[in-house]
Amino acid sequence: MKGHHLSTLMSPLRNTLLLGLMALCLSAFGADQKPVVTKKQDRPQPPTRPFDAPGMPKFTRLDGKPGVNPPVDVDGDFLVGPEYVAGPETKVVAGVPAGKVQQFSIDSKDCKRFNPGIARDVFGTVDPKNPKTLIVETHAIDYKRTVTVYVPAQYVPGTAAPFIVIHDGPGMGKPDMNLARILDNLIAQKRVPAMIAIMISSGGGDAQGHERGREYDTMSGLYAEFIEHEVLPLVEKNYSVKLTKDPEGRATMGNSSGGSAALIMAWYHPEWYHRVLTFSGTFVNQQWPFNPETPDGAWGFHNKLIPESEKKPLRIWMAVGDRDNFNPNVMRDGMHDWVEANNRMATVLKAKGYHYQYLYCLNSGHGVGNAKPQILPQALEWLWKGYPISQNP
């Protein structure tokens, strides 16, 4: 009974206190105002890096000419933008044979090289004993990856076809037809060979501690070996095609870390791939876990590997935006500027005598998305220069 009486006495007091608190809130915000909710701040836009700043390559200027791309038979450094016009090759053209686009999935549990996958919950902290790497806690995951395959209408069954591997391929049920349309037109115009395109999605996540980072940023031949021995045989089996073994007929392509993965595949396995195409290539220090043999990650390409190695039989096309990524994470190692990394790549490739073409895209950010519809058709044509296309019907 005493508890009952105490509860009865306290109820009016509680109500009075609640009314008082409500009144205080109304007086602070106003009767018609709502409490302010703090919005999460977006990452600030990277600074624009002028094309004529000290240390930049000496560009051949095509800027101010929307829709104009560098010649497809010339190497070197070119300035494009700041306005862009999608190439006619990006449109469906009446009468042009359309290739077939199909998809299948690969379960990580059926893989040998990347089973299980990894993921992280927290980005990680700089290792106090080594500022070039992070301390990251990861956990094992199962995952599925989608493989999207474009087979051109001109493919002759039983023949060994040239092909291009594209990283960060689309998800299941969402095939991106942009590349297929471009290839349809370029193949019909006999500007590129009748190639098969194999678009492979990653194992998920991004950067250090995630499966995508393990696959794309690791400086080794492991991911190329996974594709060679576990993905390509399934493509041949599922779609009754034959893929060439000639490295001159094999290309790799990617955006961001997919771009560094494209070069990593060809660098560690030039007996498999000779042609590389990158957009905003992550040629920075993003490898994890730390490897003392390549302590600077992909930054080591221009810092050490290319300058100090014999020239390899590679043909490399690159593009970067003038507002591309700049030190976007907690690391402060001086090796996280995408513009500087790509500039340095162009410089060392030129010094070493490589066939390369480098586009610096004004008014463009990471991935050069606004420029890509203009420059991708030309990039693909440049990439395949020297490969016979006479087999196209």
Q: Answer whether 0.95 is exceeded by the pTM.
A: no
Q: What is the mean predicted confidence (pLDDT) over 309-322?
A: 98
**DSSP code of residue 45:** P
Residue 330: the pLDDT is: 67
Is residue 29 scored above 60 in pLDDT? no
Q: What is the mean predicted confidence (pLDDT) over 115-140?
A: 81
Orientation angle between helical segments 178-188 and 372-383, nearest 10 degrees: 50
What is the percentage of the chain residues whose pLDDT exceeds 70?
A: 87
355-377: per-residue pLDDT in tens? 999 999 999 999 999 999 999 99
* Lowest mean pLDDT across 199-203, 229-233, 324-328, 355-359: 324-328
Q: Which of 184, 198, 307, 336 is nearest to 262 (CA)?
A: 198
78/51 Cα distance (integer angstroms)? 10
284/339 Cα distance (integer angstroms)? 10
* Lowest mean pLDDT across 64-78, 121-135, 181-195, 220-234: 121-135
Residue 307: the pLDDT is: 98
Q: In the chain, count of helices (H) and strands (E)?
A: 10, 16
Is residue 30 scored above 80 in pLDDT? no
Q: Mean pLDDT for the chain? A: 87
Residue 128: the pLDDT is: 85
* Lowest mean pLDDT across 6-15, 99-108, 241-250: 6-15
227-275: per-residue pLDDT in tens? 999 999 999 999 999 999 999 999 999 999 999 999 999 999 999 999 9
Q: Are strands 160-161 and 163-167 parallel, antiparallel or unpaired?
A: unpaired
385/393 Cα distance (integer angstroms)? 18
Residue 130: the pLDDT is: 82
Q: Which of 315, 286, 346 is nearest to 164 (CA)?
A: 315
Residue 390: the pLDDT is: 66
* Lowest mean pLDDT across 299-303, 315-319, 328-332: 328-332
Which residues lie below 8 Å from residue 223, measured CB to CB, with a gap of 6+? 215, 216, 261, 264, 265
What is the percentage of the chain residues whose pLDDT exceeds 90?
A: 70
Is residue 388 scored above 90 in pLDDT? yes
Is residue 13 scored above 70 in pLDDT? no
Q: What is the mean predicted confidence (pLDDT) over 14-28?
A: 39
Residue 33: the pLDDT is: 39
Is residue 331 scored above 60 in pLDDT? yes
242/124 Cα distance (integer angstroms)? 43
Is residue 124 scored above 90 in pLDDT? no
Is residue 333 scored above 70 in pLDDT? yes
Residue 334: the pLDDT is: 81
Residue 18: the pLDDT is: 39
Paired tokens of 281: 């290539």
Which residues lie below 8 Å from residue 240, measured CB to CB, with a gap of 6+? 157
Look-up: residue for tokens 């190497």? 75
